[in-house]
Chains A and B, each alone.
Chain A
Amino acid sequence: MELRAYIVRRLLLLIPVLFGISLLIFGITMLFSPIERASLYVSDPKQLRDLASIIQTYGLDQPFWSQYGTWLGQVFQGNLGWSKVVSMPVWNAIWNFLPATLELAIFAAPVIIFSGIFLGTKAAAQKDKPLDHATRVGAIIGWSLPNFWLGLILLMVFYGALSGLLPPGRLSIGMDAVVNSAEFARYTHINTLDAILNWRWDVFLDALRHLILPVITLSVTNVAFIMRLMRSSMLESLGKGYVLTARAKGLDEKTVVNKHARRNALIPVITISGYLFAALAGGAVITETIFNYKGIGWWAWQSASRLDIPSVLGFALFSAVLFVLVNLIVDILYTRVDPRVRLGGGIQ
């Protein structure tokens, strides 16, 4: 199928997906009674008497369809509602927090994906040898470490014990001032990238310093996953006839493994890597919260813990769009790696 037609078709498919998701989440919020929901609009307990008027104003006692219709009408006008925790429209909040999360994803995803592929290949090529066992033990440990626990331990060591070597947050206070000053042009709001574009290596290094711990935290748990997937995919590939052909040609083991077997083994790993990136770019909720790294995940956590319904809805819709887009990119990438795959046609 032609690439453009395929992309258009997939984007059209996004519409029913978004409808479904919004219905689902909206339905869940309707499980709360109008009074409960009205009380969320009140910050001062003395105003509790006004609940009835709030219910009246926002139509919280209207039937489901009418409320959903009202909300949908606003969404179509580009109004996703008001995010209370950060006091700005939801739409602005998403744009505001996205660059931070993207920055984290851009640093963490390659670390996770490439080291997972590398270690998985090694483990498969040396099946049942010491390295294989070592990576297996490592995977189990990494996998079973809770994110928040690992994050806190890392903070205790590298921030607490080592007197602020690797601090939480996104930038140090001084650098924050630099970034927000007039002579620093914020092209992308991705601090490391902007720092390079502004030729400010001090800002770059400071941003990098803040990224190290979150990246490590995300990597330790997720590398295990990619690595084990790569290992099993690689083992399957190594048992295939074309690997024997490659050996019978006289190729050395390195070429057999890294060229002939790995190229095929990568195919399933690409899908999962795509999901991983989407998950990271959609906000690493726990990690961002622990490190006080103000990205989408941090915002989503703040909103969810205060039952900020418009924000949670906005976050869910944003995640859905992200997943569909990443999926689309993965599908197109597939056709580059596996010539048997045709766009929209499965495997021949």
Chain B
Amino acid sequence: MEDLVRIRDLSVRFYTYEGVVQAIEHMDLDIRKGETLGIVGETGSGKTMTAMAILRLIPYPGKIESGSIIFTESGLRGEVDLLALSEDRMRSLRGNKMSMVFQEPSAALNPVFTIGDQISEVYLLHRRHELGYRAMQQVEGLLADGKGNPLAGLRRPFWRWQRRLYCKIAQESHPLEPRIVARIPFFNRLLWRLRDEAELLTVNILRDVEIPDPARVAKEYPHELSGGMKQRAVIAMALACSPKLLIADEPTTSLDVTIQAQILELFRRIKVEKGASVLYITHNLGVAAEICDRVAVMYAGRLCEVAGVEEIFSNPLHPYTRALLDAIPKPGKEPQPIPGTLADQFSPPPGCHFHPRCPNAMPICNQEVPELKEVSKDHLVACHLF
């Protein structure tokens, strides 16, 4: 299968007052077209920062130190290295070709704007030409219908002006006249059809994520919706422009169990219907088993193991993966918590970061960093045992 994203030698560091945190160390990871790739790991292992690095939204005081992130379907010419793009180009991809769903839907939605406004915003930003074209067609219809109608005659000049504005929006990338008009109070109403068209698309995408009565929900504020509905709205916002890559950062963690199942079901459907690749971040291997095609296991900023989901569960190789599997509660078997404590983020153990907690540790393990190697087809492990 072809790759959508190729992460090579990615390193992310945080320069804090207490010290330097190596959040991601020399990561190599591919996301394939149309697959759901799970990233699994304990808290602080660098899952969220991997996602943020792809969107190039690493928060201050973090920095991407090195590496490249090749994105093959940017819509720009050929394959691009996201880390080398200008900020303008990068912005044109965010929310458009790649988008993200966050853990806390109530935090992710802006409390002072309606759901509809927040989703329309994405269309008005990334689908301007299309909206302009549709609005222009509307006005042309009006102009054609109004022929010979004396009442419509009065409004013709306005319609003509609207047609010119929408035409410019549909064709030019930085049209001057519509931008000026948009800034003048009262005159900016000439552009209302643009918002109207965006609203239509918004209602459609809300219906797509199975929100009942989408037209009403679009007019509501986030606090008027339940947690599950909010998360659906956030997912709708992420799906608005049919992204090639959808990143979901623990999207069900803050929801209760029945809602979790519904949201997982929604993700499964999205993958099939929209053909998007999904990067699904979770600390729960059980969830990963339900919706992922492949799973990448992370520990303290490094990848431990990457393999197909069945392979991971039937033939886990890395001692950390095995420990994670043993920690899942199963009927008839006591869950085994992983012994020891998380690696210190400022000074992780040398060699393999996992060695203080590893039952199989060998002398070499605290000396040398294990490389990520392909031990069988599509099964990569970073451990001195292999």
Nearest A residue to B122, CB-CB: A249
Q: Which residues of A contact B109 (CB under 8 A)?
A: 242, 245
On whether the beta carbons of A338 and B94 are closer than 8 Å, the reply is no
On whether the beta carbons of A242 and B95 are closer than 8 Å, the reply is no
The yes or no answer to A251 lying at the interface (CB within 8 A) is yes
Q: How far is the CB of B361 from chain A (nearest CB, A)?
A: 38
On whether the beta carbons of B221 and A249 are closer than 8 Å, the reply is no
On whether the beta carbons of A249 and B107 are closer than 8 Å, the reply is no
Q: Which of A5-57 contact B (CB under 8 A)?
A: none
Considering the chains assembled together, what is the distance between the CA atoms of A247 and B121 in angstroms? 12
On whether the beta carbons of A241 and B112 are closer than 8 Å, the reply is no
The yes or no answer to B188 lying at the interface (CB within 8 A) is no
Pick the residue among B55, B57, B93, B111 that contacts A339 (CB under 8 A).
Answer: B111
Given A248-B99, A250-B93, residue A241 in contact with residue B57 (CB < 8 A): no
Q: Mark A223-248, 1 if CB is under 8 A from B, else 0.
A: 00000000000000000111011111
Given A248-B99, A249-B94, A250-B92, residue A242 in contact with residue B111 (CB < 8 A): yes
Q: How far is the CB of B247 from chain A (nearest CB, A)?
A: 9
Nearest A residue to B88, CB-CB: A252
On whether the beta carbons of A248 and B95 are closer than 8 Å, the reply is yes
The yes or no answer to A260 lying at the interface (CB within 8 A) is yes
Q: Which residues of A contact B99 (CB under 8 A)?
A: 248-249
The yes or no answer to A306 lying at the interface (CB within 8 A) is no
On whether the beta carbons of A248 and B57 are closer than 8 Å, the reply is yes
On whether the beta carbons of B55 and A251 are closer than 8 Å, the reply is no
Given A248-B95, A249-B237, A250-B95, residue A264 in contact with residue B223 (CB < 8 A): no
The yes or no answer to A133 lying at the interface (CB within 8 A) is no
On whether the beta carbons of A242 and B94 are closer than 8 Å, the reply is no
On whether the beta carbons of B108 and A241 are closer than 8 Å, the reply is yes
Nearest A residue to B247, CB-CB: A248
Pick the residue among A249, A251, A340 that contacts B111 (CB under 8 A).
Answer: A340
Nearest A residue to B119, CB-CB: A249
On whether the beta carbons of B96 and A244 are closer than 8 Å, the reply is no
Pick the residue among A241, A248, A260, A348 that contacts B55 (CB under 8 A).
Answer: A248
Nearest B residue to A249, CB-CB: B95
Question: How many residues of chain B get a CB closer than 8 Å to chain A's CBs?
Answer: 28
Q: Mark A306-348, 1 if CB is under 8 A from B, else 0.
A: 0000000000000000000000000000000111100000001
State which size class the interface on A falls in. 20 to 34
Considering the chains assembled together, what is the distance between the CA atoms of A242 and B113 in angstroms? 11
Q: How far is the CB of B127 from chain A (nearest CB, A)?
A: 11
Considering the chains assembled together, what is the distance between the CA atoms of A260 and B91 in angstroms? 16
Considering the chains assembled together, what is the distance between the CA atoms of A339 and B109 in angstroms? 13
On whether the beta carbons of A247 and B94 are closer than 8 Å, the reply is yes
Nearest A residue to B60, CB-CB: A127
Q: Which residues of B contact A250 (CB under 8 A)?
A: 91-96, 122, 125-126
Given A249-B95, A263-B112, residue A242 in contact with residue B107 (CB < 8 A): yes
Q: Which of B103-152 contact A (CB under 8 A)?
A: 104, 107-113, 121-122, 125-126
Residue among A245, A251, A260, A264 having the largest count of chain B Cβ atoms under 10 Å = A245
Q: Which residues of B contact A248 (CB under 8 A)?
A: 55, 57, 94-95, 99-100
The yes or no answer to B166 lying at the interface (CB within 8 A) is no
On whether the beta carbons of A247 and B108 are closer than 8 Å, the reply is no
Q: Mark A264-298, 1 if CB is under 8 A from B, else 0.
A: 10000000000000000000000000000000000
Q: Which residues of A contact B95 (CB under 8 A)?
A: 248-251
Q: Which of B56-80 contact A (CB under 8 A)?
A: 57, 59
The yes or no answer to B102 lying at the interface (CB within 8 A) is yes
On whether the beta carbons of B122 and A264 are closer than 8 Å, the reply is no
On whether the beta carbons of A338 and B112 are closer than 8 Å, the reply is yes
Considering the chains assembled together, what is the distance between the CA atoms of A245 and B113 in angstroms? 13
Pick the residue among A241, A252, A263, A338 that contacts B91 (CB under 8 A).
Answer: A252
On whether the beta carbons of A249 and B125 are closer than 8 Å, the reply is yes
Q: Which residues of A contact B221 (CB under 8 A)?
A: 339-340
On whether the beta carbons of A337 and B112 are closer than 8 Å, the reply is yes
Nearest A residue to B121, CB-CB: A249
Considering the chains assembled together, what is the distance between the CA atoms of A245 and B93 in angstroms? 14
Pick the residue among B93, B100, B108, B121 that contacts A251 (CB under 8 A).
Answer: B121
Q: How far is the CB of A301 from chain B (nearest CB, A)?
A: 42
Chain A residues within CB distance 8 Å of chain B: 240-242, 244-252, 260, 263-264, 337-340, 348
Q: A245-B234, A249-B237, A264-B112 are in contact. List 15 more A-B contacts (CB 8 A).
A: A241-B102, A242-B107, A244-B59, A245-B102, A245-B108, A245-B109, A245-B110, A248-B99, A249-B94, A249-B121, A250-B125, A251-B125, A263-B110, A339-B112, A340-B221
**8 tightest A-B CB contacts, nearest first:** A241-B107, A249-B95, A250-B94, A250-B95, A242-B110, A339-B221, A245-B108, A250-B91
Could you give 6 example pairs across A and B, Cβ below 8 Å?
A: A240-B107, A245-B237, A248-B57, A250-B92, A263-B113, A338-B111
